[in-house]
Amino acid sequence: MLEATHIRKSFGDTRVLKDVSLRVSRGEVVAIIGRSGSGKSTLLRCLNDLETVDGGEIRIGGQALVTMQAGQPVYKKDGERRALMLKMGMVFQSYHLFPHCSVLRNLTMPQKLVLGRGDGEAEAKARDLLAKVGLSDKAGAYPCQLSGGQCQRVAIARALCMDPDILCFDEPTSALDPQLTQEVLGVIRRLAQEKRTMIVVTHEMRFARDVADRVIYMEDGVVVQDGPAQEVLGDHRSDAIRAFAGE
Amino acid sequence: MRYFNNPEALLRLVSSMQEGFAITLTIFFATLLFSIPLGMVIALLRMNRHRAVSVPVSLYILVMRGTPLMLQIFAIYFAVPMLTGHNLERMTATILAFSLNYAAYFAEIFRGGIMSIPVGQYEACRVLGMRRSQTFFYVVLPQVFKRVLLPVSNEVITLVKDTSLANVIAVGELFRAAKNEASRTASIEPLFVAGLFYLIMNGLVTLFFNRLTQRMSYYRD
């Protein structure tokens, strides 16, 4: 489904990703954990084409986004690149809803502009997904009238409206209090039960253990551990994970 | 006092200034019509990542904001015919000078507005697959509109008063009409009447922008 190999990325002199590889299969939920500055968000941003890599290859559904040619990363041409990235969906830590649009329009506008869906189809899809995240009654509200948890659920619905093959979350609950966090994690949990392919960058260790099939632990721009959630976070977890969890 | 204690004379004065007022309104609306779209184009060119584009545009803005509008009106009215061999109508020269000058101010206001839109909005559009033009017209511009209302209203109010500068190339706008009347009758009162015209007009401009601000308050950022 998704394959990233030997990803390298630097900001100035800081090497944020040093040869990171990652595979995600269909229906798999992968949690990426690690300290702030370990490179996990940057990795996710590279996978979503929000950052360009300095080296390495990324394939999504078998199609190459970037390949190495003569030692240099070469990206697909603009049009194909945008089309390929439609397979990916992304939910940000601070939602990035469109403040000037109602909840419903946040969900319908991208469908109409990007997928060319008609009003009726876009709205039906939007209402369907609003119901799914439990916000049917908020269709006419504006983002400023919603709580953080509600905003995040709208953002998840907005991403799902585009029918992505893989949904990515960049610390989706880091801006929320514990109660709102549960509200959002509940939605993600339900998506996992539907066997949606997801990559979740998170600080929620318990959530990672309960929901993820696989957990990747990053430190200093490299993958330190990559294995089944029970193995990485279970009773036999490594000293590195124990130190990270503050035990 | 010649007018303020004589309602009949005052009415005659006001009606003699009518034509000047119409010309003032023409300069005002024509300038807005041309300078706002032009200002948006200049703002985008100013933000172009190629220095071959952004540097000349910065220079343009520097000259337009850095020299007196009065001088620019003279320059366009007298220099353009010298350079091109075609005479310019007084009104054409006036509206041209005002539009070029105000576009520079609007450009900087719009640029500030565009730069104030959080990068997250662009990233959201990007991961949703929106094109750059779609991002600009559907997400950035509507939010910029709200953010620039206040500084734009300042500029529009200044424009109302600046229209009086057109009298330097003998355009018969409101202020010139008042000045002529003042010297003809050796009274300063017509100038105060003109002042009242500007004040009322700016009262209306203020009202208009208050309404617009209210209409845009349906969302907060």
Range of weakest confidence among A187-196, A230-239, B56-65, B89-98: A230-239
- For residue A40, is it within any domain? no
- For residue B197, is it within any domain? yes
Mean pLDDT within B174-191 = 91
- Taking only the tens place, the pLDDT of each residue in A12-39 is 999 999 999 999 999 999 999 998 889 9
**Residues within 8 A of A (CB atoms), B 105-124 only:** 118, 120-121, 123-124
Cβ within 8 Å, pair B139-A98: yes
- For residue B1, is it within any domain? no
Q: What CA–CA distance (Å, rounded) separates B150 from B147?
A: 7
Cβ within 8 Å, pair A97-B124: yes
Which of left, alpha, beta for B170 (phi over 0: left; psi -120 to 50: alpha)? left
- For residue A118, is it within any domain? yes
Among all residues of chain A, which has the CA nearest to that of B146? A100
- Tell me which residue has tokens 């090497």: A15
* B166 to chain A, closest Cα gap in Å: 40
**Residue A238 clears pLDDT 90, i.e. is over it:** no
**Please, what is the angle between helix B174-185 and helix B189-215, to 10°?**
160
- For residue B2, is it within any domain? no
Q: List residues bridging with A20 in a β-sheet.
A: A7
What string of DSSP letters covers B164-218? GGGGGGT---HHHHHHHHHHHHT-SHHHHHHHHHHHHHHHHHHHHHHHHHHHGGG
Contacts of A86 in chain B (CB under 8 A): 129
**Residue A170 clears pLDDT 80, i.e. is over it:** yes
- For residue B12, is it within any domain? yes
Q: What CA–CA distance (Å, rounded) separates B187 from B174?
A: 16
- For residue A127, is it within any domain? yes
- Taking only the tens place, the pLDDT of each residue in A114-123 is 999 999 999 9
CATH of the domain at B127: 1.10.3720.10
Per-residue pLDDT, B41: 97
Give the residue numbers spanning the domain of B125. Answer: 7-218
- For residue B210, is it within any domain? yes
ipTM: 0.93
Give the residue numbers spanning the domain of A147. Answer: 97-162
- For residue A108, is it within any domain? yes
Domain total in chain A:
1
